[in-house]
Amino acid sequence: MSITDRSNSPVPAQASPRQASPPQAVVAILRAPTAHHFIRASSVLWDAGIRCFEFTLTSEGATDAVSAFRELQPEAIVGVGTVRTVDQLAVAQAAGAAFAVSQMFLPRLVVRAHELGMPFVPGALTPTEIVTAWESGVSLVKVSPIGPVGGVTYLNELRGPLPDIALMPTGGVTLKSAGAYLSAGAAAVGVSGAVFGDALVTGDLTGLADRAAQLNSLLAGV
């Protein structure tokens, strides 16, 4: 699946995690009270074959963790999530973030991200919100939280009337459903708690490598 040409959009097209990642990419989303265990956990996923990471800004120390992991794994695609202000975009970019994601659509974030030359993915949930975000010129729209509103069934219902819009479902995505979202036409999929469990809070990485390997195995045939 290729991202639709956005040449006629009011905001010029930008890259996205989907465009910067292997086809049908998985984005590992890291969220915890602090980013203390982000580097170790991301390293486990990197070794398991995961290449795209989103460190959420609600986690204390997230931007420092972005810089540290980029230094450790220069080829990793590391961005930030839960962006709410234009200042956060500049700080994230300075830290080395390759892209930014938000839980909502705020036009000022789209404009500022474009000014910075920073790939930006806004969040939406309803068809109206999704179309509004897409028409701002972005190349990918996050649909979240998708799990509580129907999961893959909901994505199928969206894809019918909105086949041209590149969507990244997140929120309640399980290891088993990740491949189903991609098969249903998602451009990318964000996975968080299903792969990390409580590892990001406790620092206990037991089982993380196995879950990451299971995720890759389930996606192998997609």
Q: Which residue has the tokens 């474009």?
A: 114
| Cα distance between residue 188 and residue 123, in whole Å | 13
54 a catalytic residue: yes
176 a catalytic residue: no
Reply yes or no: is the peptide bond before residue 145 cis, omega within 30 of 0.
Answer: yes
- Spatial strand order in the sheet of 52-56: 120-121, 100-101, 77-81, 52-56, 25-30, 188-191
> φ, ψ for residue 51 (rounded to 5)?
-120, -10
**Contact yes or no for 147/176 (Cβ under 8 A):** no
Q: Which residues of 178-194 are buried (b: 16+ CB within 10 A; e: fewer)?
A: bbbbbebbbbbbbbbeb
Structure tokens of 43?
A: 């390293």
| From 60, 142, 157, 176, the catalytic residue | 142
| From 54, 75, 129, 157, the catalytic residue | 54
DSSP letters spanning 75-88: TSEEEEE---SHHH
* Active site amino acids: 54, 142
